[in-house]
């Protein structure tokens, strides 16, 4: 596997009259912040951060998902980037306060 972890950050843009979207809620700024910090820490060859289309959790935006774990984060701000990198991407401990809880969304 080329990368140990892969971070997909929603940058989807919707028309002005539609529901909110991550693109208008700093999605691209988050991508830049992740890429910059990963490069500064010498991790860009192990962890990939990139923009993605809609992750279908718009109500939690700006949103992102980390693979291979499949951990979704919501309401992520640039000020959260370092915490996510240090805690989750390096220490393998997901950041609970930002994690989206899908436990009630499970189809029974």
Res. 105: pLDDT tops 90: no
Please give the average per-residue pLDDT across 11-15, as a whole number. Answer: 81
Res. 7: pLDDT tops 60: yes
Res. 94: pLDDT tops 70: yes
Res. 36: pLDDT tops 80: yes
Q: Any idea where the domains of the chain sit in the sequence?
A: 8-101
Task: Please state the CATH superfamily assignment of the domain spanning residues 8-101 in this structure.
Answer: Glutaredoxin (3.40.30.10)
Res. 104: pLDDT tops 80: no
Please, what's the b/e burial string for 69-86 (b: 16 or more CB within 10 A of its CB; e: otherwise)? eebbbbebeeebbeebbe
pLDDT at 101: 86
Cα–Cα distance, 102 to 88 (Å, whole number): 18
The predicted model scores a pTM of 0.89
Q: Are the C-beta atoms of residues 72 and 95 closer than 8 Å to each other? A: no
């Amino acid at each position: 596997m080329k990368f140990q972890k892969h971070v997909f950050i929603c940058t989807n843009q919707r028309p002005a009259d539609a529901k909110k979207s991550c693109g208008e809620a700093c999605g691209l700024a988050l991508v830049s912040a992740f890429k910059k910090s990963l490069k500064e820490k010498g991790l860009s060859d192990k962890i990939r951060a990139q923009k993605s289309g809609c992750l279908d959790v718009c109500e939690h935006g700006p949103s992102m998902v980390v693979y291979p774990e499949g951990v979704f984060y919501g309401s992520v701000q640039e000020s959260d980037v370092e915490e996510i990198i240090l805690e989750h991407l390096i220490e393998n401990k997901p950041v609970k306060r930002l994690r989206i809880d899908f436990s009630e969304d499970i189809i029974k």
